């Protein structure tokens, strides 16, 4: 099989956030193990964050993929300047940073691509994060096949894809957005406005992130191929509708084999080892709490959640990034909190999430509903308490709570209160409804496992996707000789 794909050389470039980098790395490994030559591009800043978070025993400080190459995979590694000095606080100066990604970054990346097209084998394909605003321009300049990699669920993709429909119907970008059910998006039965992504619920629709979204979702419509980190059976109607527009493949979840023991760390922070602590706790007795790598929350919310966890009496591990409130406010826990929970609570700045949630002591996950966290929880069979903070997390919560019924909401009111947190956490960890959630979770997990099996939908779609890249490369090279991909004949990239 591999020799057939030997000469396809793809550049992969993730958006510079943890939740995007992780699936890109796993995709690089998967493509390389099917004979692709890969050049993986990180920003200097992301590269230095990953390098600095590595402990001494890791030998891949300068090159994430050194180990993969030792195993015979042709993955090359390059870094590019994102336009800012290394010491610049990208979190604190978020808008300025995103302006740079919008206007400056493409010139740096263009230079890298210009050098890579001269490599051996020459680059023929660009696989870029959907949120970038320049892949189309660069792909056209260098005559590359352009693949848009969407790292979130298809539901989120299709809502952005059909922003104009939301606008036309007054659910987005109107003086006061309509609050009734949205039932006109192709492939989406119905969705409530409160379940839209935060950017589509906003009243200020000309922020820098909005401008990125408008440009990115104009360009994606000209991509040769779209790939999604989701599972066909979980979002069948949505994917079918997208496929009528352009070839869209559900190839997720993109996990490495042996996910719970990943071969190397791609974390932007040093990871605490929680295994000793967990080993001393009864099975399914610990709640894992983490709000991800990127979103911020208010000090008030942190205080309420802390009091709620304290009141609940439940064992927990809480991952609290030092910048969870903001880079310049790092003292946000109630006075005496850590002392009061020391026998049953563990607070760490960051950890190997997959190792923690696959531990038998873990019984639930209080999450921001980031898509990687959601997929990892499903893989480990851990039900969710949802506390979305930003962007796609509100829409992911709809899938988790309403559609798949594998989780509950943390708060049903406008604001989170410690009383509600305590009650929800207690019932979730010890109540009768837990069994229902576990049962539903088992079914969804089976769907994931089947999709990744040899004859599963994700595996078939992955092979069709690779084949489609080749067809497009041949067309680009003028070697198509009238061959049309069977996927395009029926306008449908879904595996049957």
- Render pLDDT for 273-325 as a digit per residue (tens, 0 to 9): 999 999 999 999 999 999 988 888 999 999 999 999 999 999 999 999 888 88
- State yes or no: pLDDT of 4 exceeds 70: no
Instruction: For residues 71-99, give the mean pLDDT.
Output: 94
- In this structure, the number of other CB atoms found within 10 A of the CB of residue 429 comes to 21
Q: How does residue 269 score in pLDDT terms, banded at 50, 70 and 90?
A: confident
In contact, 62 and 78? CB cutoff 8 Å: no
pLDDT at 257: 66
Instruction: For residues 394-422, give the mean pLDDT.
Output: 95
Q: How far apart are CA 158 and CA 478, in angstroms?
A: 32
Q: How far apart are CA 481 and CA 68, in angstroms?
A: 36
φ and ψ of 385, to 5 deg = -110, 125
Structure tokens that stand for 264 in this block: 């190397």
pLDDT at 429: 95
More confident site: 264 or 446? 446
pLDDT at 335: 87
pLDDT at 412: 81
Q: How far apart are CA 405 and CA 439, in angstroms?
A: 10
pLDDT at 283: 95
What secondary structure does DSSP assign to 442-453, as a single string? HHHHHHHHHHHS
Instruction: For residues 477-495, give the mean pLDDT.
Output: 48
pLDDT at 482: 45
Structure tokens that stand for 101 in this block: 């990604």
Q: How does residue 483 score in pLDDT terms, banded at 50, 70 and 90?
A: very low
Structure tokens that stand for 115 in this block: 């050098």
Instruction: For residues 383-389, give the mean pLDDT.
Output: 96
pLDDT at 2: 41
Is the previous residue joined to 253 through a cis bond, with omega within 30 degrees of 0? Answer: yes
Residue among 343, 390, 377 at smallest CA distance from 445: 377
Instruction: For residues 377-404, give the mean pLDDT.
Output: 96
Any idea which of 176-185, 322-331, 344-353, 404-413 has the lowest mean pLDDT?
A: 322-331
pLDDT at 263: 52
pLDDT at 289: 97
Domains of the chain in start order, with CATH, are 9-258+454-477 (3.40.50.2000), 274-449 (3.40.50.2000)
The DSSP H or E segment spanning 103 is helix 94-103
- State yes or no: pLDDT of 189 exceeds 70: yes
Instruction: For residues 130-140, give the mean pLDDT.
Output: 97
Instruction: For residues 326-337, give the mean pLDDT.
Output: 81
* Cα dist from 460 to 127, 209, 255, 451, 456, whole Å: 19, 35, 16, 9, 6
Q: How far apart are CA 132 and CA 126, in angstroms?
A: 12
- State yes or no: pLDDT of 489 exceeds 70: no
Residue among 228, 217, 42, 221 at smallest CA distance from 149: 228
Q: How does residue 433 score in pLDDT terms, banded at 50, 70 and 90?
A: confident
pLDDT at 93: 94
- State yes or no: pLDDT of 347 exceeds 80: yes
Q: How does residue 63 score in pLDDT terms, banded at 50, 70 and 90?
A: confident
pLDDT at 62: 72
pLDDT tens-digit series, residues 206-218: 999 999 999 999 9
More confident site: 449 or 342? 449
pTM for the predicted model, two decimal places: 0.93
H helix runs in 246-344, sequence order: 275-279, 299-312, 337-340
Output the average pLDDT for the chain: 90
Q: Which residue do the tokens 């952005």 mark?
A: 160
pLDDT at 481: 45
pLDDT at 261: 52
Q: Taking the chain, what is the end-to-end CA distance rounded to the nearest angstrom?
A: 22
Instruction: For residues 31-45, give the mean pLDDT.
Output: 96
- Residue 352, SS3 per DSSP: coil
Residue among 357, 282, 298, 309 at smallest CA distance from 332: 298
In contact, 464 and 249? CB cutoff 8 Å: yes
Q: How far apart are CA 414 and CA 1, in angstroms?
A: 55
Instruction: For residues 17-37, give the mean pLDDT.
Output: 94
pLDDT at 175: 84
pLDDT at 326: 79
What secondary structure does DSSP assign to 105-126, as a single string? HHHHHHHHHHHHTTSSSPP-EE
Q: How far apart are CA 72 and CA 336, in angstroms?
A: 53
Q: How far apart are CA 82 and CA 107, in angstroms?
A: 9
Instruction: For residues 171-188, give the mean pLDDT.
Output: 94
Q: How far apart are CA 134 and CA 126, in angstroms?
A: 11
In contact, 321 and 293? CB cutoff 8 Å: yes
Instruction: For residues 2-26, give the mean pLDDT.
Output: 84
pLDDT at 60: 56
Q: What share of the chain has pLDDT > 70, as a percent?
A: 92
Instruction: For residues 102-120, give the mean pLDDT.
Output: 95
The DSSP H or E segment spanning 37 is strand 37-43
418-430 helix and 433-452 helix, angle to the nearest 10 degrees:
70
Q: How far apart are CA 478 and CA 120, in angstroms?
A: 20
Instruction: Determine the Cα angle at 361 with ends 356 and 363, to 5°.
Output: 90
The DSSP H or E segment spanning 366 is strand 362-367
């Amino acid at each position: 099989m591999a020799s057939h794909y030997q000469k396809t050389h793809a550049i992969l470039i993730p958006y510079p956030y943890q939740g995007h980098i992780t699936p890109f790395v796993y995709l690089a490994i998967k493509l390389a193990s099917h004979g692709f030559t890969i050049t993986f591009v990180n920003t200097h800043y992301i590269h230095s964050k990953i390098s600095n978070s590595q402990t001494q025993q890791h030998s891949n400080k300068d090159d994430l993929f050194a180990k993969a190459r030792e195993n015979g995979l042709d993955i090359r590694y390059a870094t590019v300047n994102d336009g800012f000095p290394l010491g610049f606080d990208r979190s604190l100066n978020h808008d300025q940073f995103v302006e740079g990604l919008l206007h400056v970054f493409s010139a740096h990346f263009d230079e890298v691509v210009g050098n890579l097209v001269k490599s051996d084998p020459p680059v023929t394909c660009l696989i870029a994060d959907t949120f970038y605003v320049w892949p189309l321009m660069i792909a056209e300049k260098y005559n590359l096949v352009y693949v848009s990699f969407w790292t979130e669920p298809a539901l989120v993709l299709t809502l952005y894809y059909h922003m104009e429909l939301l606008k036309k119907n007054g659910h987005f970008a109107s003086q006061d957005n309509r609050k009734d059910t949205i039932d006109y998006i192709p492939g989406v039965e119905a969705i409530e406005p409160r379940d839209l992504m935060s950017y589509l619920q906003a009243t200020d629709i000309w922020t820098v992130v909005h401008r990125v979204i408008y440009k990115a979702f104009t360009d994606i419509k000209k991509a040769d191929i779209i790939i999604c980190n989701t599972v066909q059976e979980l979002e069948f109607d949505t994917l079918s509708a997208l496929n009528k527009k352009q070839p869209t493949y559900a190839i997720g979840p993109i996990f490495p084999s042996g996910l719970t023991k990943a071969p190397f760390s791609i974390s932007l922070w040093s990871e605490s080892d929680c295994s000793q602590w967990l080993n001393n706790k009864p099975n399914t007795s610990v709640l894992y709490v983490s709000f991800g790598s990127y979103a911020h929350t208010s000090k008030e919310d942190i205080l309420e959640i802390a009091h709620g966890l304290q009141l609940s009496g439940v064992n927990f591990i809480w991952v609290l990034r030092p910048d969870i409130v903001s880079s310049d406010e790092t003292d946000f826990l109630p006075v005496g909190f850590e002392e009061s929970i020391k026998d049953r609570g563990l607070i760490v700045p960051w950890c190997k999430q997959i190792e923690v949630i696959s531990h038998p002591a873990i019984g639930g996950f209080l999450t921001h509903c980031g898509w990687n966290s959601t997929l990892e929880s499903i893989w480990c069979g851990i039900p969710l308490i949802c506390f979305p903070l930003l962007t796609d997390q509100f829409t992911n919560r709809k899938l988790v709570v309403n559609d798949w019924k594998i989780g509950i909401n943390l708060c049903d009111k406008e604001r989170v209160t410690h009383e509600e947190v305590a009650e929800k956490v207690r019932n979730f960890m010890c109540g009768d409804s837990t069994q229902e959630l576990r049962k539903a979770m088992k079914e969804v997990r089976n769907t994931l496992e089947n999709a990744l099996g040899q004859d599963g939908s994700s595996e078939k779609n992955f092979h069709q996707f690779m084949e489609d890249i080749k067809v497009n490369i041949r067309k680009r090279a003028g070697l198509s000789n009238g061959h049309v991909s069977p996927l395009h004949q029926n306008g449908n990239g879904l595996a049957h």
